[in-house]
Structure 1
Amino acid sequence: MDIEKLFEGAECEKALLRIAQGDRDALKIIHQYMNRQIYAVAYSVLRDFSLADDIVQETYVKILEKAFSYRKGTNARAWVLSVARNLAIDLFRHRRFEGTEETFADQAMRFDESAVVSSMEVKQALDRLDDEERQIITLKIYAGLRHKEIASLLGMTEEAAKKKYQRAAAKLRELL
């Protein structure tokens, strides 16, 4: 097991317990260790940079509100990422219902032109994956989650997460 991940998990658990007791400053620890992963989870669901940023902020608010519901001794990182994923899914469903969606061209205008070209190719390839494949790739590569954490987050076995990741990665390589 990765010692760094164990340390992060222990620090996140301590922070969640402190937040549950009213220590709002402990949220900085969650931010320090998990901001990139929270963003990756949100982006994997929404496929929108700006909306993913919004979900990251909402996740921190929800953590402050719901830290009391975290059960000591369970996976703190998975709990935080589940909060982010649930918020992203809720927003995705709401926006799909409304039918409003920012175009990729609108997003691309906010980035360096050379970065957009390569990120656009990756985004197009990711868009050709099905939702589950895209989420697994994003969670593994961009959020740096282990197969076990992905399995827990997506409600599947660790073996299924490994196999689905391998298939999705092979499919993505073909598309690129």
Structure 2
Amino acid sequence: MTEHEFYAAIKGLAKGNKDMLRAIYDAYGRLIYTIVYDVVKNREDAEDVTSEFFIKLIRVAGTYQKKTSHRAWLIQIARNMAIDLLRKRGHEYLLHETEDAPQDQLEEGGTVETASTVEEHVVLAEDMRQAMQTLSDREREVLDLKLVGDLKFREIAKTLGQPLGTVTWLYNQGIKKLRRCLREYGTTE
């Protein structure tokens, strides 16, 4: 969704057009879930906060200012809601359930894939899941914001309240770890 399309949708939502919520959800539902999941580390809580996020979006739609990147604005709201949930629970640390981590669907656009193609996707997804487990929480969060959230490093630094140098270092460290792990998995077959 472009900045212009989002601006039209959020203004429509602010005026009471609930169909605009569907458009925003379709464009950003997965992103919001991923951002929330990175913070709360629990599928059920991530689903609850994501649902609450879109309900809240109806209430705050009128506060969006066009000069702000809409993706950064959405991510900041979602992240703050997830952090609020953890604070509400007294900073309890939730166990990371890897089997609950968001997974990409293997079926592409409703087309039927061959068994070997599906097998390749499964192997790649499992290798990627294992590689992602080698990342620290901070590295994973930066990578998600950059790759899934499509934010610039400055926006990530602002969102996380971290210096720009720290954010770029975490990103580079995470990418190096992923490359190293995927190379190792590729050579063990």
Q: Which TM-score applies when normalising by structure 2?
A: 0.67
What is the aligned partner in structure 1 of residue 59 from structure 2?
Answer: 65
Distance apart, 1:125 and its partner CA: 5.6
Alpha-carbon distance in structure 2 between the residues aligned to 1:139 and 1:22: 30
Alpha-carbon distance in structure 2 between the residues aligned to 1:119 and 1:49: 19
Structure 1: gaps spanning 5 or more residues? 1-6, 109-113
What is the aligned partner in structure 2 of residue 135 from structure 1?
Answer: 141
Check the 8 A contact 1:78/1:152 in 2, yes or no.
no
Moved over 6 A (4+): 114-121
CA distance 1:99–1:49, shift in 2 (3 Å):
closer
Query: Which structure has the larger Rg over C-alpha atoms?
Result: 2
Check the 8 A contact 1:39/1:53 in 2, yes or no.
yes
Structure 2: gaps spanning 5 or more residues? 102-118, 183-189
Alpha-carbon distance in structure 2 between the residues aligned to 1:150 and 1:99: 23
Identity %: 34
- Indicate yes or no: 2:11 matched with 1:17: yes
What is the aligned partner in structure 2 of residue 111 from structure 1?
Answer: none
Q: Indicate which of 3, 23, 46 corresponds to 1:52.
A: 46
List per-residue Cα deviations over 1:46-67 (Å, max 9, x = no partner). 1222222222111101111111
Give the AA of the match of 1:62: K
**Cα RMSD between the aligned structures?**
3.4
List per-residue Cα deviations over 1:64-89 (Å, max 9, x = no partner). 11112222332222111111111111
Alpha-carbon distance in structure 2 between the residues aligned to 1:75 and 1:15: 14
Q: Which TM-score applies when normalising by structure 1?
A: 0.71
CA distance 1:162–1:98, shift in 2 (3 Å):
closer
Check the 8 A contact 1:136/1:165 in 2, yes or no.
yes
Distance apart, 1:124 and its partner CA: 6.5
- Indicate yes or no: 2:157 matched with 1:151: yes
